[in-house]
Amino acid sequence: MSTQLLPVADGPAVYIIHDNPEWIAPFAQALERLGVDYVEWLLPEAQIDLTAEPPQGLFWSRLSASAHTRTDSHIKEYGRAVLAWLAAAGRTVINGAHVYELEVSKVRQHQELVLHGFDAPRTSAVFGGTGLAAAAQAFTPPFITKHNQGGKGLGVRRFDSHAELDAAAADFAPGGSSEPIDGITLVQEYLQPAQPFITRAEFIGGRFHYAVRVDVSAGSFELCPADACAVPGTSEAAVDPFTRREEITAQTPLVGRLETLLSQLGIDIAGIEFIETLDGRQVVYDINTNTNYNPSVEDAERGAGRLAAADRIAEFLKSELAEAVPGTEAFAQSR
């Protein structure tokens, strides 16, 4: 495949910066329904002319922390380069460079959660593979590991004894089957949910949209709700583990605190995961800025006469485009 300059629209458009076409369809369809032009910037095998100005438009980063597992191990650096180029030109970017740095670092996420007063899991960050077993000695089993640059449950494993981790530690070392892309493995306390589910609260434009209950009774750490994340070979007849939590609303105290957090961090679109534990804690553990939505939950929202998340994002992007490029509406009407 030859390297191509990133495509440019004829007029104002939403530019979706991403690394996985399978995740884009619901948003593209929602934008099309609103008559909003969009252009996909798929970063592998692309180039930018640093002497040229970026096009006029609104830019939305959908870059993910797990991109290196699908396409190119250097995707993180490609994303950083594009976002730096856009920032230097003063372009409006939804979930821009500072947000991307959170997306690719659970260490940063943990620090922000603690600094803003949230109960976050006790965590140690281990650089390289040789110190993992020693770091785990400070944790009472069971405990878990995960990759610092994660997503898709990368490196997430439960260990019920130190001996079990000792036997698996080489997996996380250079060349091992669970080697983290950035060399950082986290050791984290295991959180026992009061009931076998975690909750993912979705925010659009910095405001709460809905919360989803994610069934973890099967012990899975793969919590991506999109169809593209489905584990191959699973039965289509299996019960969908994603359902809306109706009792979680914009008036829920934790939701209000999370909205404040997103405002302070400058994050427009996010899915934040938390656990209500058996010992009465409410622990926030993940800020996902490349959030996806479960199609059955989205269909149920439309069926109930409510706005699906993909449609709400399209409305938000349309509004932000009009603000970023004055005259956008007039251009669209003239076509």
| Gyration radius (Cα) of the chain, Å | 20
Could you tell me the CATH number of the domain that includes residue 55?
3.40.50.20
Whether residues 138 and 287 fall in one domain = no
Residues 315, 209: Cα–Cα separation, whole Å: 13
Checking if the pLDDT of 63 tops 80, the result is yes
Mean pLDDT across 142-160: 92
Whether residues 247 and 273 fall in one domain = yes
123 φ/ψ angles, rounded to the nearest 5 degrees: -145, 140
Whether residues 111 and 244 fall in one domain = yes
Whether residues 253 and 113 fall in one domain = yes
pLDDT at 247: 97
Whether residues 245 and 294 fall in one domain = yes
Whether residues 169 and 202 fall in one domain = no
Whether residues 202 and 300 fall in one domain = yes
Domain total for the chain?
3
pLDDT digits (tens, 9 = 90+) for 224-248: 444 444 444 444 445 678 999 999 9
Whether residues 301 and 233 fall in one domain = yes
Checking if the pLDDT of 40 tops 50, the result is yes
Last residue of a domain, one of 189, 208, 238: 189
Whether residues 178 and 231 fall in one domain = no
Checking if the pLDDT of 134 tops 70, the result is yes
Could you tell me the CATH number of the domain that includes residue 171?
3.30.1490.20
SS3 category, 333 = helix
Whether residues 253 and 115 fall in one domain = yes
pLDDT at 237: 43
Whether residues 136 and 224 fall in one domain = no
Sheet holding 13-18, edge to edge: 38-42, 13-18, 57-61, 92-94
pTM as predicted: 0.91
pLDDT at 153: 85
Instruction: Tell me the pLDDT of the chain averaged across its residues.
Output: 91
Whether residues 136 and 262 fall in one domain = no
Where does residue 73 fall: left (phi above 0), alpha (psi -120 to 50 degrees), or beta otherwise? alpha
Residue 61's domain comprises 4-102+314-334
